[in-house]
Amino acid sequence: MESLLNNIARYIQLEDDEKEYFLSLVGEKKVRRKQLLLQEGEVCHHSIFVKSGCLRGYTLDKNGDEHVISFATAGWWIADMYSLITRKPGQLFIESSTEAHLQLLTREHQEKLFEQIPKFERFFRILTENSLVATQQRIIDNLSLGARERYLEFIRKYPSLKDELPQKHIASYIGVTPEFFSKMMRSLPE
């Protein structure tokens, strides 16, 4: 359980009244597992902060197969960035993998924050930079590593998720079918 204010305090320092104002713009939401928070074709209006639990972002390809784009565990943010910043319908689905406690910030309120408390512009600039680095690393891994090594990368990066998620979602994240994943696990010690 990581609080939103703690998350922010990693990068910027807020006065008490700024914290209060910020929290006044944030919505709370509790969801059960397997709840759909965003669907393909919808405009994504919120950045979602995960206080507890785990969300999953995925797309559906033209054969109806899912491709997991990202997981967000406690302390992480998730959104359909394309849709959020263009305000156009996106292709991402966002669904809870577990029951989860969320905090929501609309893009509108986020932009209000940028105007009124420039420190937030810094906070989200840093968050976005970190996210970009992680995303680029994933492209490098996809281009340079085989499935087995991508899996080892995955458990190094998200050790807690290994036993908490259905294998097929992990398989999808690393880019293989559940059948192949199963075969691969047979040959991995442990």
Partner DNA sequence: TGAAAATCTTAATCCGGGTTAAGTTTTGCT
Partner DNA sequence: AGCAAAACTTAACCCGGATTAAGATTTTCA
Count of residues near its own copies by CB under 8 A: 33
3-state DSSP call for residue 72? strand
Contact 100, 31 (CB under 8 A): yes
Give yes or no for residue 107 binding DNA (CB under 7 A).
Answer: no
Other C-beta atoms closer than 10 Å to the C-beta of 50 total 24
Binding residue for DNA (CB under 7 A) from 6, 132, 180, 188?
180
Give yes or no for residue 82 binding its own copies (CB under 8 A).
Answer: yes
What is the widest separation between alpha-carbon atoms in the chain?
A: 56
Tell me whether residue 16 or residue 163 sits nearer to DNA (CB atom): 163
Tell me whether residue 3 or residue 136 sits nearer to its own copies (CB atom): 136
Binding residue for DNA (CB under 7 A) from 135, 152, 183, 188?
183
Q: How far is CA 114 from CA 4, 23, 117, 161, 190, in A?
A: 17, 15, 6, 33, 48
Task: Name the binder of 69 from DNA, its own copies, none, CB < 5-8 A by kind.
Answer: its own copies
Q: How many residues make up the chain in this entry?
A: 190
Tell me whether residue 75 or residue 175 sits nearer to its own copies (CB atom): 175
N-term to C-term CA, the chain: 29
Residues at the contact surface with DNA, assessed by CB under 7 A: 33-34, 63, 65, 146-148, 166-168, 175-183, 185-186
